[in-house]
Amino acid sequence: MKVIKLENIDKCFGEKKVLISVNLDVEKQEIFGLLGPSGAGKTTLIKILTGQLPASAGKAYVFGENSERLKENSYREIGMVMDNSGIYERLSCYDNLKLFSSIYKIDKRRIKEVLTAVGLGGEKKTSAGKLSKGMRQRLILARSILHRPKLLFLDEPTSGLDPATTKTIHELLFRLREEGTTIFLTTHNMEEAAKMCDNIALLHEGNIIEYGEPEELCRRYNSENQIRIFMKNNQMINIINSPESAGKIEQMFRQGDIVSIHSSEPDLEQVFLRLTGRGLEE
Ligand SMILES: Nc1ncnc2c1ncn2[C@@H]1O[C@H](COP(=O)(O)OP(=O)(O)O)[C@@H](O)[C@H]1O
Ligand SMILES: [Mg+2]
């Protein structure tokens, strides 16, 4: 059984079509990344999957259940990180989590464990309102995994965070996957997606325009197949990887011009650019 299954999902807000016939499967223990620029429909799709919004057409299944009618038991298996954080500013980190542990009837010992896991072990008594942006995001993440969900939705989990916090979060997500968690994340950071995700989908104007493993996608779009050469005079040149280039490269070698040679598969950013004519950060 797929953890997530979307069949021909449409979503309209009034006249505006935000999602158009989206089909998607996510397997157990997969880190799946939904990529697209701002306004592409990423958050809308998460809201449909978590029963916060109805689809206009099509079916969305989570753990095999229709997402519009998820049962209490299924919600207990889901964790979510969205912008509406639901953190109580005046409560300490510990008390914020204590509140949730009583709702979910979770052993209090788990609170310390989770705070340590997100690197907030030393901030138990700090009130949430006093946390830095990166710490706050880690507290939100801590809350979302407190009940050991089998499926975690993360809407732009590292957007605007410093590299150290981003790294902590990435490491935690890898650990969660090892423990069997399925992770559905959205990002407009292609580098993050390439590093984190087993599979990604590129969402553009409501359509999934590409799907696959990040590396495989990059290779697929490596039509130009270029070789990149760094020269002693600090120049960088790109040469087509073909027999005709052999003479030219040999000559550079003989002259001792070459510092290093690299293959140059396009990165995901370039794949997206090639598909849409647009960058992700616009
Ligand atoms: N409740 C809503 N009512 C009307 N339009 C909405 C609503 N929610 C989102 N939209 C529109 O749907 C589009 C996709 O939004 P969203 O899913 O938030 O994109 P993303 O998360 O990829 O940035 C945007 O054009 C946004 O303005
Ligand atoms: Mg969004």
125: which 2 tokens? 């008594």
Q: Does the domain spanning 1-77+150-164+172-222+268-282 belong to CATH 3.40.50.300?
A: yes
Residue minimizing CA distance to atom 17 of ligand 1 = 41
E strands, the chain, are: 4-13, 16-26, 31-35, 57-62, 65-66, 78-81, 151-155, 182-187, 199-204, 207-212, 226-231, 236-240, 258-263
Q: In what order do the strands lie in the sheet with 258-263?
A: 236-240, 226-231, 258-263
* 282 residues of the chain, pLDDT tens digit each: 899 999 999 999 999 999 999 999 999 999 999 999 889 999 999 999 999 999 999 999 999 999 999 998 999 999 999 986 789 999 999 999 999 999 888 999 999 999 999 999 999 999 999 999 999 999 999 999 999 999 999 999 998 899 999 999 999 999 999 999 999 999 988 889 999 999 999 999 899 999 999 988 888 876 667 788 999 988 888 888 888 888 988 999 999 999 998 877 678 887 888 788 776 665
Residue minimizing CA distance to atom 6 of ligand 1 = 13
154 Cβ contact list (under 8 Å, min separation 6):
80, 81, 141, 144, 173, 183, 184, 185, 186
Q: DSSP state, 54?
A: -
Going from N- to C-terminal start, the domains of the chain cover 1-77+150-164+172-222+268-282, 85-148, 223-264
End-to-end CA distance of the chain: 37
Q: Name the residue with tokens 């950060």.
A: 281
Q: Name the residue with tokens 């949730």.
A: 100
Ligand 1, pocket residues at CB < 6 Å? 13, 18, 36, 38-44
